[in-house]
Amino acid sequence: MAIKVLDRKPLSLAERTYLPQIISGLGITLRNMLKPPVTLQYPEEKPVIPKGYRGVPTLVKDPNGREKCVSCQLCEFVCPPKAIRITPGEIADPENPHVEKAPKDFELNMLRCIYCGLCEEVCPEEAIVLQDLYSLNSEAREEIVLHKDKLYELGGTLPDKHFKWDKKKKAAEDAASGDSH
């Protein structure tokens, strides 16, 4: 590659006085002053939450309104700051006889949570999801420790293509009718 020798000019008199530079600098700051502000007026204007944002972990229900969590406790074990504590429980729901387990209590201590998203990653049922809730505050520490009902309230229902319990029900019915594959 050919070497290109650049001409290093000494500073001209105008440059050494700094005045032209100061004037052009004033121009830049003036242009900045006339631009509209880039900040949000926060409590009134909310930021747009990007896709894949890791907000507060929440429990979600499937489109039939059933709990997805089966209290396998994988999230509890993977959670690095040990923010999750699950009390597993059986459920005997006559409506959904194929749903076997659900947490009796799902305690998520948001004072410990580091929003790492490992619980979402490890969950085999896609039951715990970090959604777009970013502002969690309260006047009492107890209220920051979220429990099952609050977590389901925050999570709501997410679209779901699996319909796991419907498939299980169908499989059980097929087995009962003696049509086994």
Partner 1 sequence: MDWIDLLITLLKAVVVVVIVMTISGYSVVGERKVSSWVQGRVGPNRTTIPLLGSIPVIGKLLTRWGIFQLPADGAKFLFKEEPLPDHVNKFYYNLAPIISFLPPMIILTVLPFGQYVKDGVSSAVALTQTDVGILFVMAVSSLGVYGLILAGWAANSKFPFLGGIRASSQMISYELCIGLSLLPVFMWTGGTLDLFAVVQAQGGVLFGESFGLPKWFIFSQPLSALLYLVALFAETNRLPFDMPESETDLVGGFHTEYGAFKFGLFFVGEYAHMAIGSALFSIIFLGGWSIPFLPLSAYPEGILGAVLSVLVLAAKTIFLIFFYMWIRWTLPRFRYDQVMNLGWKILLPLAVANLVAYAIVMAFMPGL
Is the CB of residue 58 less than 8 Å from the CB of residue 128?
yes
Q: Which stretch binds partner 1 (CB under 8 A): 25-33, 55-63, 88-96, 101-109?
A: 25-33
Is 180 a binding residue for partner 1 by CB under 8 A? The answer is no
* Contacting residue, 14, 22, 111, 171, with partner 1 by CB under 8 A: 22
Look up tokens 């387990």; give the residue.
101
Pick the piece of the chain touching partner 1 (CB under 8 A) from 3-11, 27-35, 66-74, 158-166.
Answer: 27-35
Under the binding rule (CB under 8 A), the answer on residue 11 touching partner 1 is no
Q: Which stretch binds partner 1 (CB under 8 A): 28-36, 73-81, 144-152, 155-163?
A: 28-36
Cβ atoms 121, 92 nearer than 8 A: no
Q: How many residues bind partner 1 (CB under 8 A)?
A: 14
Distance CA 156, CA 175 (A): 33
- Checking 176-180 for CB contacts under 8 A at 24+ apart, the result is none
Classify 169 as helix, strand or coil: helix
**Least distance (Å) from partner 1 to the CB of residue 12?**
17
SS3 per-residue string spanning 67-108: ECCCCCCHHHHHCCCCCEEEEEEECCCCCCCCCCEEEEEEEE
Cβ 46 to partner 1, closest distance in Å? 16
User: Which stretches of the chain bind partner 1, using CB under 8 A?
Assistant: 19, 22, 25-26, 28-30, 32-33, 35, 37-39, 41
